[in-house]
Amino acid sequence: MAPIPTVTLNSGYEIPILGLGTWQSKAGEVVSAVEFAIKEAGIRHIDCAFAYGNEKEVGEGIKASGIPRSELFITSKVWSTWHSRVEECVDQSLANLGTDYLDLCLIHWPVVLNPNGNHPFFPTLPDGKRDVIHSWDLKDTWKQLEDLVKKGKVRSIGVSNFSEMNLEKILPTAEIIPAVNQLELHIYNPQHKLLAYLRSKTIRPQAYSPLGSSGSPLVADELVVKLAEQYGVQPTDILLGYLVANDIITLPKSVTPARIKANATGPIDAWAKLTKEDIEKLDGLAAAGKQKRFIMPPWPVDLGFDNWG
Ligand SMILES: NC(=O)C1=CN([C@@H]2O[C@H](COP(=O)(O)OP(=O)(O)OC[C@H]3O[C@@H](n4cnc5c(N)ncnc54)[C@H](OP(=O)(O)O)[C@@H]3O)[C@@H](O)[C@H]2O)C=CC1
Ligand SMILES: O=C[C@H](O)[C@@H](O)[C@@H](O)[C@H](O)C(=O)O
């Protein structure tokens, strides 16, 4: 099995271009999924988050794989109720994952939720809306992450779900430029303008929900099905290969062994087969009327994204 190619982050560290997503992977399924991904599918990159509530089981899967920690790339994310307590959040992720450092740690969302509200993860106000602290300055969250790099608890730091508007809130005072911005990226939400901005700042994009999230709805797209038939590959290979061809770090989630294996190998072959014209056609689908986001939590604030809502 050929190793999955890596790309270099602005921090100098290498990251495998394909990883395994773990959001909504049930505790009872994720241990064996992670073990299988590492042992049998050549996956070395696992995308986790404190808020997913399954990092302990992900850690068990990592341990069961028997692969040395130094060969793995593990990402976690600081949840919105922990912006004022970044180290506390990261320490819990480290303990759950059974490691003493993260390869990458992200701010999960550029929205701060009340740490003293009516729920530890999703506090709400009496009107049912999320209980957001509007006065918090995102650069203070970023500074805490920079301090964790200095302490050796995290190697690279980045953001997730940040528009240009929110990146501009941290970049002027940042000592460390974010290594990545993890975003919803796929054929129906390619965010071309934001990607050009990120590249101008050396920030690498990471694609979440590359298959359209739960149930992988994007596999039914007409052009994707046509290209898959033409090249004798799976529609998922076209969806993931398209992102990899655009130099985007891609994070498909699965708890199904055959799919985990297919997602780790197929896209690299598909990437080699896709022509410039194929990529241009896939790049143009959203502008031609198929623009769609699948992940739009009810944040009661403007995130500064095009095509939100
Ligand atoms: N930063 C953020 O805010 C976010 C980050 N993420 C990250 O990105 C990851 C991926 O995104 P996610 O939203 O989970 O969705 P994906 O686009 O990865 O789709 C996951 C779905 O596709 C199915 N699937 C996977 N592989 C195949 C295949 N080869 N053939 C058919 N179906 C397949 C899975 O089923 P099954 O598991 O049953 O096999 C699951 O239902 C997350 O798990 C998480 O790590 C996601 C959303 C937001
Ligand atoms: O990483 C996954 C997603 O960001 C997920 O954590 C959120 O969409 C969350 O369910 C929410 O409702 O805000």
Does 218 fall in a domain?
no
Ligand 2 binding residues, C-beta < 6 A: 23, 49, 51, 295, 297
Is residue 244 included in any domain, yes or no? Answer: no
In a domain, 230, yes or no: no
**Residue 57: inside a domain:** yes
pLDDT for 156: 99
| CATH at residue 137 | 3.20.20.100
Mutate to test the pocket of ligand 1, among 18, 22, 23, 24 (most ligand atoms within 8 A of CB): 23
Determine, yes or no, domain membership for 69: yes
For residue 160, the ligand 1 atom closest to its alpha carbon is 1
**Closest ligand 2 atom, residue 79 Cα:** 6
215: CA distance to ligand 1 center in Å? Answer: 8
Q: Confidence class of residue 272 from pLDDT cuts 50, 70 and 90?
A: confident
Residue pLDDT, tens place only, 201-256: 999 999 999 999 999 999 999 999 999 999 999 999 999 999 999 999 999 999 99
- CA-closest candidate to residue 83, choices 23, 15, 144: 144
Does residue 305 belong to any structural domain of this protein?
Answer: no
Q: What is the pLDDT of residues 30-80, one digit of tens each?
A: 999 999 999 999 999 999 999 999 999 999 999 999 999 999 999 999 999
The answer to whether residue 146 is domain-embedded is yes
Q: What is the pTM of this model?
A: 0.98
Check if the beta carbon of residue 278 is closer than 8 Å to that of residue 266.
no
Binding residues for substrate: 108
Active site residues: 52
- To test ligand 2's pocket by mutation, which of 20, 22, 23, 182 has the most ligand atoms within 8 angstroms of CB? 23
Range of the domain at 170: 13-211
* Domain count for the chain: 1
Residue 287 counted as domain residue: no
Q: Does 254 sit in the ligand 1 pocket, CB within 6 Å?
A: yes
Task: For residue range 132-183, list pLDDT tens digits in order.
Answer: 999 999 999 999 999 999 999 999 999 999 999 999 999 999 999 999 999 9
